[in-house]
A = this chain, B = another copy of it.
């Protein structure tokens, strides 16, 4: 039997960047006059930026014009970059080791992120990965954003594997919903700040603290030869 493929989310799953994104969105929304509580932004993170912004604007009843969305993206990117310069975005514990282990074992893996290629690239470099040498799917390459399974389905296609035989590893309930919708198995990590219960309720088969926890218990979800 072929080895179980691993399809990873990026922010909050492999790199420790969720909280910086949350405050960057908060700042961008405030600039548009939207005073959404910060925990509500946190719970929407993991959707793509575009979908996220539309949900925020819809929930607060503001008009969703192209111009306003464009301003939101730009402000978010600028604020995130500023946080980044104060607090270096680091790999989550075990992230590099887990990817190294999979590569070594010949287990197919890919990264499917709701972010754009421009923001994903520096994150991958942080992980010691050459973006051109791995299977990477970014938001700009697919039609629908998470929780639509498009990103993970495309990642599986590029690996030449069956999504229904794959694991989807993510920190947000949107990853877990996408996994279910694609008939993959969802594996949750707590490192994005969702709780174990929330991830399990969204369909996670197992939940670990972070990539180190998953690597430590990898026999629970993937057979060794």
Where the two chains meet, the residues of A that have a C-beta atom closer than 8 Å to any C-beta of B are 16, 18-20, 22-23, 26-27, 30, 35, 37-39, 42, 79, 83, 86-88, 90, 92-93, 190-198, 210
Pick the contact of A30: B26, B27, B87 (CB < 8 A): B87
Pick the contact of A37: B27, B83, B191, B195 (CB < 8 A): B191
The answer to whether residues A39 and B87 also contact, given A19-B19, A19-B22, A26-B19 and a CB cut-off of 8 A, is no
Pick the contact of A197: B26, B27, B195 (CB < 8 A): B195
Which chain B residues border A193 with CB–CB below 8 Å? Answer: 38-39, 42, 193
Pick the contact of A23: B19, B30, B197 (CB < 8 A): B19
Give A198 to B193 CA distance when docked, in angstroms.
12
How many chain copies does the complex carry? 2
Which chain B residues border A90 with CB–CB below 8 Å? Answer: 35
Which chain B residues border A210 with CB–CB below 8 Å? Answer: 37
Q: How far is the CB of A188 from chain B (nearest CB, A)?
A: 12
Give A19 to B92 CA distance when docked, in angstroms.
19
Q: Which 10 A-B pairs have the closest CB atoms?
A: A197-B197, A195-B195, A39-B193, A19-B38, A195-B198, A39-B191, A27-B87, A16-B38, A26-B87, A16-B37
Give A83 to B86 CA distance when docked, in angstroms.
11
Interface secondary structure of A, over-half rule: helix
Q: Evaluate contact between B18 and A20: CB separation under 8 angstroms.
A: no
Q: Evaluate contact between A23 and B26: CB separation under 8 angstroms.
A: no
Q: Evaluate contact between B88 and A192: CB separation under 8 angstroms.
A: no
Closest chain B residue to A171, Cβ basis: B39
Give A176 to B1 CA distance when docked, in angstroms.
49
Q: How far is the CB of A208 from chain B (nearest CB, A)?
A: 12
Give A39 to B198 CA distance when docked, in angstroms.
15
Q: How far is the CB of A5 from chain B (nearest CB, A)?
A: 26
The answer to whether residues A37 and B87 also contact, given A19-B19, A193-B42, A195-B198 and a CB cut-off of 8 A, is no
Closest chain B residue to A199, Cβ basis: B195
Give A42 to B23 CA distance when docked, in angstroms.
14
Q: Evaluate contact between A86 and B27: CB separation under 8 angstroms.
A: yes
Which chain B residues border A39 with CB–CB below 8 Å? Answer: 18-19, 190-193
